[in-house]
Amino acid sequence: MREIIFDTETTGLDPRTGHRLVEIGCIELIDRRESGRTFHAYFHPERDMPAEAEAVHGLSIQFLSDKPLFAARVDELLDFLGDAPMVAHNAAFDFGFVNAELARVGRPPLDMARMCCTVQMARKLHPGAKHSLDALCTRYGIDRSHRVKHGALLDAELLAHLYIEMTGGRQIGLGLAAEPAATPRGAEPAPIRSVAPARPFREPRPHGATPAELARHAEFVATLNQPLWHDSP
């Protein structure tokens, strides 16, 4: 099974107000394992970069000034994506920006049925917990020490590790994972199997009857009428 894990960086929060896509990073998974194939691109946004957005991802308009427009690499991007399911953290946000860019260059939008959102998965698996990428990486023991600022390819790589763990880890199908096996997109995830904690070894306790218990047992047997075990073989 082929899946694409991806992330985007933008000039703001809403493409409907003129904000643009400036970076996309994609990781290919085959049967829940990274294949080694990636797609990564920066784009000139054809507008300014708000200071609050630059503070998040560190991409200045000066850095992006010589980068291609989205239209220049759209065919390469679509070829990489193919028709595979697409996984993102807060996926509606990323799909919204990619589809807005596709609309600008006259291309059909990505089918939202391809979307798999790891935020929604996390809310079902860990209700009441924090569901940010940082918080979930901490929960699943994924090293994010090199993540100083957001970056589309870096965040896609972290998300790929997270998605693998959230859908059963690398031992899917072997019955050895503590998390549930992979859940089809749109289906309710299977309940998480609890794993009994390790317990310290204890010496077996003696179970021999005490003299008082043996005496009470003899008194009871004496009240029985012709017990079978008194018969001769």
Distance CA 25, CA 182 (A): 23
Decide if 115 contacts 122 (C-beta within 8 A): no
Which tokens go with 30?
């085959």
Integer-rounded Cα Rg, in Å, for the chain is 30
Please name the residue that has the structure tokens 């008082």: 212
Among the listed residues 3, 20, 108, 111, the one whose alpha carbon sits nearest the alpha carbon of residue 57:
20
**33-42 sheet: strands from edge to edge:** 33-42, 21-30, 2-10, 86-88, 115-117
Question: Is 7 labelled a binding residue?
Answer: yes
| 150 annotated active-site | yes
Q: Which of 126, 150, 207, 217 is catalytic?
A: 150
Question: Is 9 labelled a binding residue?
Answer: yes
Decide if 180 contacts 165 (C-beta within 8 A): no
Residue 160 DSSP code: H
Question: Is 231 labelled a binding residue?
Answer: no
Decide if 6 contacts 27 (C-beta within 8 A): yes
Cα end-to-end distance, the chain, whole Å: 69
What DSSP string describes 44-107?
--SS---HHHHHHH---HHHHTTSPPHHHHHHHHHHHHTT--EEETTHHHHHHHHHHHHHHTT-
Binding-site residues for substrate, in ranges, read 7, 9, 52, 57, 155
**Which residues belong to the active site?**
150
Binding-site residues, in ranges, read 7, 9, 52, 57, 155
